[in-house]
Amino acid sequence: MKKENKEKHGNSMQILGVNVTSDSEDRLLKRLVDFMAQPQAKNKSLLVFTPNPEFLVAASRDGQFRQTLNKADINLPDGAGLVFLSKFFGWGIKKRVSGADLVASLLEIGNQKEWLVGVVGARRGENNESNLLIARLQKRYPNIKFINLDNYQTSRVNSSFDLVFACHGMGKQEEWILGSREEVKAKVFMGVGGALDFLTGFAKRAPFWMRNLGLEWFWRGIQRQGHFKRIWRAVFVFPWLAVKERLKG
């Protein structure tokens, strides 16, 4: 990895062409909070993406998406498969860093510090549901001011956010962040998929024991059968591609 990439991504390992950060959740949380506590440099934001094995499979087949992911400052290792294979391939990823867990921790801190938080793409952008999600977040974290960015044109958003969550799902949320960060001013942008659904009652997360055993993927498959195609890519295709990459040296 080039020196400038090391400086940008910190402790990271390249997996299927994507720089995946290998820091612990505590260190990453501290890095984000410390960054938001500093005066924001002009046009400088921290970009956080959450690639799980499904993301990496997609990136291995789509060079543009791979380049998009590598524009992040932090790529969370958001998948039990990354931790499992790390034991064999020496990737240095000792524990999964769940985007949903990091989001919850950030909002707890943001509630103490009275952050301004933007949300975009929640509930597929459906107006009534996204507004309800914002209302539930506001009730749960009363000291944070939440703004639903789906209700605004980005060029008309004059607020300077501490944090913006993009919730569109794989690919779309990263594109939105890269395409909007010049117009929407924020210290940290984070692609979070459906993480806010867990905090607002729109989705039920796997029990802790399943998460602890790395079986959250199985829970999601039970909840929504459409997820099994995604599970196939994450549980079977990803390890196969990782082995092929390893054999190529």
Residue spans of the domains in the chain: they are 1-26+50-97+211-243, 100-204
Q: Give pLDDT tens digits for 1-20.
A: 443 344 344 578 899 999 99
Q: Give pLDDT tens digits for 58-78.
A: 999 999 999 999 999 999 999
Q: Give pLDDT tens digits for 179-197.
A: 999 899 999 999 999 999 9
242: Cβ contacts below 8 Å, ≥ 6 apart: 15, 16, 85, 89
pLDDT at 122 over 90: yes
Q: How far apart are CA 36 and CA 39, in angstroms?
A: 8
Closest alpha carbon to 157 in 188, 129, 116, 107: 116
